[in-house]
Amino acid sequence: MTAELYYEDAYMREFDAAITAVDKKDGRLRVALDSTIFYPGGGGQPNDTGWLTVDYRRLAVSGVKREGGRIWHTLDGLKGESVHIARGKVVNGELDWARRYLLMRTHTAMHILCGVVWRDYGASVTGGDMKPGSGRMDFEFEAMSGDLVAAIERKCAAEIAAARPVKTKILPRETAFQIPDLIRTKINLLPKQITEVRTVELEGLDLQADGGTHARNTSEVGEMRIVDYRSKGAINKRIYVEISETV
What pLDDT was estimated at residue 83? 67
**What φ, ψ does residue 246 adopt, rounded to 5°?**
-130, 160
The partner residues of 53 in beta bridges, in order of sequence, read 58, 92
Q: How many Å apart are CA 39 and CA 4, to the nearest integer?
A: 8
What pLDDT was estimated at residue 186? 52
The domains found in the chain, sorted by start residue, are 3-95 (2.40.30.130), 100-243 (3.30.980.10)
Q: How many Å apart are CA 191 and CA 111, to the nearest integer?
A: 22
pLDDT tens-digit profile of 98-139?
999 999 999 999 999 999 999 999 999 989 999 999 999 999
pLDDT classification of 69: cutoffs 50, 70, 90: confident
State the pTM of this model.
Answer: 0.92
Q: What is the mean pLDDT of residues 9-35?
A: 94
pLDDT classification of 184: cutoffs 50, 70, 90: low
What pLDDT was estimated at residue 32? 97
List of E strands, the chain: 3-4, 14-25, 28-33, 35-36, 50-54, 57-67, 70-76, 90-95, 125-131, 134-139, 166-172, 196-202, 206-209, 224-231, 237-243
What pLDDT was estimated at residue 67? 93
pLDDT tens-digit profile of 133-177?
999 999 999 999 999 999 999 999 999 999 999 999 998 888 887
**b/e map of 39-78 (b: 16 or more CB within 10 Å)?**
bbbeebbbbbbbbbebeebebebebbbeeeebbbbbbeee
Q: What is the DSSP string of 85-151?
A: --TT-EEEEEE-HHHHHHHHHHHHHHHHHHHHHHHHH-PPEEEEEEETTEEEEEE--S---HHHHHH
Q: What is the mean pLDDT of residues 4-13?
A: 97
